[in-house]
Amino acid sequence: MNNVNILVLVSGNGTNLQALIDAERGGRFRGGEDYPGGRIAAVLSDRPARALSRAEAAGIPVYTEEPRLSLGPAERRRELSDRILGIARGTGARLIILAGFLSILEGNIIKAYGGKIINIHPSLLPKFGGKGMYGERVHRAVIEAGEKESGCTVHIVDAGTDTGPVILRRKVPVLDGDSPDTLAGRIHDEEHIAITDAALMMLRRLGGDGDNNNRGRQ
């Protein structure tokens, strides 16, 4: 069975991307008798990001596609999403993983890749998700709400923000005296497990699909 090409979208440090790279290198995505393997065909960022040097160090092609600030917010999101769709198709991607990607995808790409785009979010969705809920803000809100546990969620991306069907969650305790930083660190460790487990689950799901498109990096 042909490998599934994966496009990973990033905006920041890229520790989740690194977990995916390490998993691929370690043979975790080699596939099985009844499901395909996966390979990271390309990494795309919407801004200069440390994640890109991680990809380059692993020999993975990188793209930087920044939002056009001259456009209004809605058109800016659509235009960037369409550019990313073009790159996804060009790399033969069948799975798109948002690993700390801060722009919001909209329009054609959601339809073209329906059910095949996943995102990782650092809270137990549906709690503490939605527009404006990213990074430190999530963890601060969790602590201020007095939550006893938090964690991370991997979900399918749909037309909403952090609203698609959940693939998996991993939980951590919120400890007395936690700062947004200490809580984020504890969750990050779980994210690295969650994102690779979720990628594997998606490869198994894609095993049933007919249109295995394998252009791009071999």
Where does this chain bind ligand GRF (CB under 6 A)? 12-17, 51, 99-100, 120-122, 152, 188, 191
Smallest distance, ligand GRF to C-beta of residue 33, A: 32
What's the burial of 102, exposed, middle or buried (CB within 10 Å: 0-12/13-18/19+)? Answer: middle
Identity of the residue, 5 or 16, whose beta carbon is nearer to ligand GRF in the bound complex: 16
CA distances from 103 to 27, 78, 81, 84 (A): 30, 10, 9, 11
Q: Rank residues 86 and 160 by Cβ distance to ligand GRF and give the closer one.
A: 160
The least CB distance from residue 16 to ligand GRF, in Å, is 3
Q: For residues 31 and 178, which CB has a smaller minimum distance to ligand GRF in the complex?
A: 178
CB-based contacts of 49, cutoff 8 Å, min separation 6: 10, 11, 12, 13, 14
Q: Which is nearer to ligand GRF, 38 or 122 (CB)?
A: 122
Answer positive or negative: Cα dihedral of 168, 174, 175, 181. Answer: positive
C-beta of 210: minimal distance to ligand GRF in Å? 31
Task: Supply the minimum distance, in Å, between the C-beta of residue 192 and ligand GRF.
Answer: 8
The catalytic residue among 121, 139, 155, 192 is 121
Q: How far apart are the first and last CA of the chain?
A: 14
Beta bridge partners of 10: 45
Annotated active-site residue 155? The verdict is no
Active site members = 121
